[in-house]
Structure 1
Amino acid sequence: MNNKCYVNICLDTSEDDSGWQDLRIDNKKISFFQEGLIKGFRGKMKQVQKGHMLRTHWIIEFFADSVFSVKLYVVFSEEETEKNNRNILYKAIWQLQNDSSKEDIRQCASEWIRGSKSLVEYKDLSDFKICFDGGGFSMISGKNHFYNFQRTVVLACLCLSYNNVFNGFIKKLSDVDMNDYNALSDLTMNMNIFAAKWYFRYPVLLKNNLVPVLWGFISERFKLNQHYEELENQLKNVHALVSQLYRDQESKKSSNISFKMSFYLVFLTILLVVLTLFLVL
């Protein structure tokens, strides 16, 4: 391990299926999520030689085996890579803590994440510092915390996956025909299924004291709960609309039935009158 590690996170578009192993951090499988998320989690890793650099590649998938599945490709490198790639969703950087060059360390992180020198709001967690930004996060620590840096990358992937699903629902809501009862019903059902099965406000287990703290910081920066509450309110509005459309359809059916019954009664009445007149005559 060098004194720096740069990370890029993108949506997975890879087609390379060779050389992958189960994802492990500190030689342990990912186990710090709630059981529901673990069941839908897939992770694999491998080492890739690029010139003189040995990079670590991850593929992380959340909500696997469902229509909500999100796959992310993560690259760890000791040198800057593809800094301005438009496909990059999020960045991260780990740097070895060194008091003699504290300002240089912070500037390096800011340049990588923001392309500026304005990343300054670090949280001091006793023996390491961490800063979360909209475009990435920075950790400054001893080498003993590098695994916590990797765990935080996994947490960032979960935030990105949640946002991907939320944005998908919002797009479908904007595109759906508000008079299409079946389409609205399907959308409402899918949103309810995702919320019930996959969305956790506190997705990490509390047995690890540090990971829940890191989740609190990064989920707050992503404003996940606010985004979910907004989606939940839209879901309620769609549900109300679906219910109203259903009532309107049922009312229309009832009106049609009433009209047909009235028509038949009038027809029978006329027929009865005609028959009566015929018998009288």
Structure 2
Amino acid sequence: MARISVKDNKIHIELSEEESKKSNLNANKEYEFIKAKDGLFLLSEKAAAIEHAKDYSAIDNKIFSLLSDKKQLSNAVEGRFEKLLNKEELSRFNDLLKSGKIVKFKLSDKYKRAIYRASEKLAEKKSEQKPSLEQNLGQKPSVQQTKPVSLQTAGEYFPTLTKDGYTIVDESVAKEISEDCADRIKDKDLFGTKMFDGKYCVIESWLFEKHEPKILEFIKKNKCSDLASIVSNLNLPESLVRVICGLLCEKGDLLEKRRNLYCFIS
């Protein structure tokens, strides 16, 4: 027999042990108490609400496509990438960031902004046995260089890189440099990156550190500067300016708004 008790202005229904077993009531479910008529009451189990998971595949495809676009690497910079998304996409992006499917990546702690990357790509990069040219961007060499270090190799890039301290090559030669100069890359006195035209720029750290501040300061002062004005005002070789600006875009300090037009990211 059920007993009724009142506690804190709430009615409690108590069943005997035998009645409790027969009822199969579940404390984890909700029930609706219904008065059918005087003296007759019903206890009805509420139907569980069925929640349909939202399909985020289209949004996810857009987000990861933007992050993997090698021609627009500067779009993946923290603070800029968010502006490419609408409200719903931004909410989904933040969920992916919290879940670890997207990560913030910095080549060095001295960079102001991180670059967003898919976590799988970051894991692949960390698992590589050989150091890559891109991994050394912005990292200090273990021993400060005061002059170019000659390469002990006879590769086709050797004369230019040895003479000038930098070079622009295609992908196959970039791989050759990574293999031939593994020790220098590991010591962080040689690094590079892929530019928007598909070529790879490679530069010795001493040369990058020598010219980076004045190029960055010049563009910052003018907000945006084209390649020709940087070359003429700073009296530097055009190819060297292209290399350094390409690396500054990779770092997230500059944006190549259109070909050879660089803008400072504040």
TM-score band w.r.t. shorter chain: under 0.3
The higher relative CO (CA closer than 8 Å, separation ≥ 6) is in 1
Larger radius of gyration: 2
Structure showing the higher helix proportion among its residues: 1
What is the TM-score when the length of structure 1 is the normalising length?
Answer: 0.21
